[in-house]
Amino acid sequence: MMRIPLIAAACLLLKTTSAVFADEAYNVDYHYALLGQPQQDTTFFHRPSTNSKASLLYTLSEKGVVGAVNPRDGEIVWRHALAQNVTERSNGFLRAADGQDVVVSGSGSRVAAWTAADGRLAWDMNTDGPVEDVEILELSDKLASAGNKDVLVLSSGDSPAVQRIDGASGTKRWQFKVEGGDLPYQVSASSTEVFVILLHKTMLGYYKIRVVSLDSVDGHKTDEYTLSSDSELATAETILSVGANSASPIIAWTDAAYTTLKVNIIGTKSTSSFNIEKHDDRAVEKISIQAPYHTNSLAHFLVHYETANSHWADVFHINLSKNKIEKAYSLPKVAGKGAFSTSVSDANVYFTRITEDEITTTSSSSHGILGRWKAQGLGIDSGTSEVITPTHAVSELSIKNDAVSAIRTAVSLSTGDWMLLRDGSPVWNRPEALADISSATFATSSAIEELEQELEVEAHSNAVAAYVHRMKRHIEELKYLPRMLMSLPQRFMRGFLGTSSEGGMAKDAFGFHQILACATASGRLIALDAGSPDRVLWNRQATTLQAGKTWRPQLTSQADVLILHQGQGGQQLAFNATNGHLLLAPPPREAATTGPNVQYTMTDDGLEAKRLDVENAGSLWHFTPSSQDRIHSLVPRPVNDPVANIGKVLGDRRVLYKYLNPNVALLATTNDASKTASVYVLDTLSGAILHSTTHTSVDLADPISSIMSENWFAYTLTTSADPRGHLLIVGELFESLIPNDRGSLQSAANFSTLETSPEPFALTATYQIPESVSKLAVTRTKQGITSRHLLAYTPASDGIVSIPYSILDPRRPVNRDPTKDELAEGLVRYAPVIEFDPRWYLNHARSVIGINEVLTSPAFIESTSLVFAYGHDIFGTRVGPSGSFDVLGRDFNKFQMLATVVGLAAATVGVAPLVMRKGVDARWRFT
């Protein structure tokens, strides 16, 4: 009981300066710089320049992030987010030509060339409509220059067009406007001509394939034809194609039932048909084509067939002199899923097959196997018993004496991981599924949960009972003694050398190793250890989604149980947070709710609140914004928001009472017509408006973010008024502004907000901040004694800033210096501008992109709050807003301390006889 005032005193004594120990930067914090799921067509190995020996792995992910990864360690060499909003999925194109040092991306309506080695922008250009295809023109005509090859861009929209872009400068050489209302589909080139593939929708709803050929030098139409009438079978979904850079571009399609495959060599008018074999009567579910993206390789391609439980492939050869396609050989049917990749070495083409248990390589010319390796990291996962299958892959081979001497394969897995296998053994694994988190929560592990409960029992029983309980617990723990003794020498050494790795989840007395459970849009649950970066605890499939569907569940936790709310129609599921096992029984413990459960629904004219814990409750209250106002957001005060002190102690020992109501929320509305934003503090039980403000000339294109905690709130917005700027407004609610006065609540021991509604007094302050903020959060500690920091994500600089509350305090004196009492309280003179101190940036020098949620959770020790940010990148750290007063820093040297103690003891023992002799001498000396 004495501990709390002591800790409180410690908090006041310690200055709120550095958030972390300097040596903890990059140590207690972790950052996963992610790309997002790589896509099959936009992922490849490529040499960044002609004279470099090693290649990099390039990808444009499904989230529109283009980047290069070092295949040796999986680290990002460079990356750029192409999409405006990195949290939205986008399709894109990424191309590279052999021996060229740029890669060209197309995304949205922008085409950009990046230097392959370091990702600098070489040039970019915008098209009038969405980019539908980008190809590099390999042919050498009189326009072609010696340097970078030209680029073909096909765009759709109101005026669909093909453009030839100068590969050196990004300027347009010519443009061909596509007329006739057909859908632009693909652009390809032979050695002399450019072909535009268009889909022509017939009356019956099917597509015909229309081909327009253009002169490569001036872009004039030279021919136009529609492929034979059979092509009516094509629907947009069953068209498969192979782009321009291949030796002989083809277009292939099937009927909806996948019975016949038709292939046309682009530039010829005939098509070849092949029957699709039926293997044990299972319907083929997916067909894809693999071909080398090299003009000077053999014109061979592979068709990959998949059924629900097996896959196989056929290899075809194109005879360019006869313009004929022949089937060369088949790769046999294998159970389970598989992926194929294509590699080229000296014009020879190789196909690599990745299955759940092995990797095999064949030449495109014959079916003989040139290399076979056991694939690790795929197949049945021992932890979750889930079968991990390859989704797609790219490979790089080294050929010696007609055999594959080494192979590197980057495989996308069904777990959402991107893994590199060298000769079948995993080298690195990037958890790209984490770029797609739709909901996340902190949870405790079972071991910690047990310890917590035991400690709780001891804290709440009388001294004797607690002592007996503790003795029992220690006796129980004796069984771990032998194991502990065995590991003692190691721990001793680590402690001495300062290399201690802080232990794992089981012995986590500080509560740093909490479980971070994340639900991804792809239907998976992934758990991380908040204390050990780079550690994925478990990763499991939680739901099976239909193609193209995404999952937006809500994940919450009750101690060591995760609860997944799947929304309308979806079931509520419970999982064991420690190992991810599905729990059949509903969560055993009741949620520790502290107040009535209120649900909010948006109605046509506003917001309606209903109580969830009272059956058939009618509407509790209804909020109708003024005309044309739109509800922007509603942020309630967090459920577990402990407050240590009900008042603010002033410099002269008087108290200002905080307005502490658990049922408050901050509601923001915007009005597009008048460019205003209004903010209301609501009582969520009565619907009463406790405080409101309206801001005019608000730039509504910029984000508005808000937060409510304790008795204060904060929000940010951008004003277009003069001076234009980003504002942070902080408000604090008090029962009364007169010290030692509780206002109208003085006499009431308890009251109901439904009957009386005492109005709080609000103090607000407005600060100008250097950047717009898209997300606010606040640190949380176990008992709320530690002061708070406001966390802000700044999308323009990709940073997370941790602002001490003392800087934001609305009670800072305005236009005068603080009095002695105010100084004693730590208040400084109000200044309208807050510059972000470089030490406030939790991310340090790293750029954390695409954050849309910041979670905080208290550690077990009072000083520390855990922070976890997600959206695209993952960032986590620990923050000690009042300094880490209850933990020793990493630089605390146990060896030095022990040496000092031993030294002092030795000195004491050594010096004692001397001192004694001196004492005796002194007494016997006569002067």
Give the interface segment with ligand NAG, choosing from 146-154, 230-238, 493-501, 575-583 (CB under 6 A).
575-583
Specify the residue, 66 or 704, whose C-beta has the smaller distance to ligand NAG. Answer: 704
Is position 561 an interface residue for ligand NAG (rule: CB under 6 A)? yes
Give the interface segment with ligand NAG, choosing from 159-167, 275-283, 574-582, 643-651 (CB under 6 A).
574-582
Is position 578 an interface residue for ligand NAG (rule: CB under 6 A)? yes
Is position 218 an interface residue for ligand NAG (rule: CB under 6 A)? no
**Orientation of helix 463-477 relative to helix 446-460, angle to 10°:** 150
Residue 255 CA: distances (Å) to CA of 240, 284, 382: 11, 12, 40
Name the residue among 101, 95, 86 with its Cα closest to residue 35. Answer: 86
Tell which one of 385, 401, 616, 750 touches ligand NAG (CB under 6 A): 750
Neighbours of 505 (CB within 10 A): 21
Lay out the site mask for ligand NAG across 637-676 (x = CB under 6 A, - = otherwise): ----------------------------------------
**Orientation of helix 481-497 relative to helix 894-924, angle to 10°:** 80
Specify the residue, 146 or 585, whose C-beta has the smaller distance to ligand NAG. Answer: 585
Specify the residue, 414 or 670, whose C-beta has the smaller distance to ligand NAG. Answer: 670
- 296-325: which residues touch ligand NAG (CB under 6 A)? 319, 321-322
Lay out the site mask for ligand NAG across 412-451 (x = CB under 6 A, - = otherwise): ----------------------------------x-----
Tokens representing residue 420 in the block: 């590199």
Give the interface segment with ligand NAG, choosing from 82-90, 111-119, 229-237, 726-734 (CB under 6 A).
82-90
Specify the residue, 322 or 483, whose C-beta has the smaller distance to ligand NAG. Answer: 322
Specify the residue, 360 or 520, whose C-beta has the smaller distance to ligand NAG. Answer: 520
- 763-792: which residues touch ligand NAG (CB under 6 A)? 774
Q: Residue with structure tokens 């097996």?
A: 310
Q: Taking the complex as a whole, how short is the minimal distance between the CB of residue 574 and ligand NAG, in angstroms?
A: 8
Is position 88 an interface residue for ligand NAG (rule: CB under 6 A)? yes
- 583-602: which residues touch ligand NAG (CB under 6 A)? 583
Return the HEC string of 48-97.
CCCCCCCCEEEEEECCCEEEEECCCCCCEEEEEECCCCCCCCCCEEEEEC
Q: Give dist(CA 547, CA 219) in Å, integer.
A: 39
Q: Taking the complex as a whole, how short is the minimal distance between the CB of residue 84 and ligand NAG, in angstroms?
A: 8
Give the interface segment with ligand NAG, choosing from 81-89, 118-126, 188-196, 506-514 (CB under 6 A).
81-89
642 upstream amide cis, omega within 30 of 0: no
Name the residue among 740, 768, 918 with its Cα closest to residue 836. Answer: 768
Q: Give dist(CA 366, CA 186) in Å, integer.
A: 31
Specify the residue, 546 or 750, whose C-beta has the smaller distance to ligand NAG. Answer: 750
Q: How far apart are the first and last CA of the chain?
A: 59
Is position 864 an interface residue for ligand NAG (rule: CB under 6 A)? no
Q: Taking the complex as a whole, how short is the minimal distance between the CB of residue 270 and ligand NAG, in angstroms?
A: 16
Specify the residue, 85 or 159, whose C-beta has the smaller distance to ligand NAG. Answer: 85
C-beta separation of 30 from 90 below 8 A: no
Edge-to-edge strand ranges of the sheet holding 172-177: 131-136, 151-155, 161-165, 172-177
Residue 674 CA: distances (Å) to CA of 134, 671, 717, 723: 43, 6, 15, 18
Residue count, binding to ligand NAG (CB under 6 A):
18
Neighbours of 238 (CB within 10 A): 18
Residue 293 CA: distances (Å) to CA of 46, 301, 378, 861: 11, 10, 28, 57
Give the interface segment with ligand NAG, choosing from 9-17, 137-145, 573-581, 890-898 (CB under 6 A).
573-581
Q: Taking the complex as a whole, how short is the minimal distance between the CB of residue 12 and ligand NAG, in angstroms?
A: 34
Tokens representing residue 470 in the block: 């503790």
- 696-725: which residues touch ligand NAG (CB under 6 A)? 703
Q: Taking the complex as a whole, how short is the minimal distance between the CB of residue 113 and ligand NAG, in angstroms?
A: 26
Mapped onto helix, strand or coil, the DSSP state of residue 29 is coil
Tell which one of 87, 90, 409, 414 touches ligand NAG (CB under 6 A): 87
Specify the residue, 141 or 326, whose C-beta has the smaller distance to ligand NAG. Answer: 326
Tell which one of 29, 101, 560, 735 touches ligand NAG (CB under 6 A): 560
> CA geometry: angle at 415 spanning 410 and 420, to 5°?
20
Q: Name the phi and psi angles at 150, rounded to 5.
A: -70, 165
- List residues binding ligand NAG (CB under 6 A): 85, 87-88, 319, 321-322, 446, 560-561, 576, 578-579, 583, 703, 749-750, 774, 852
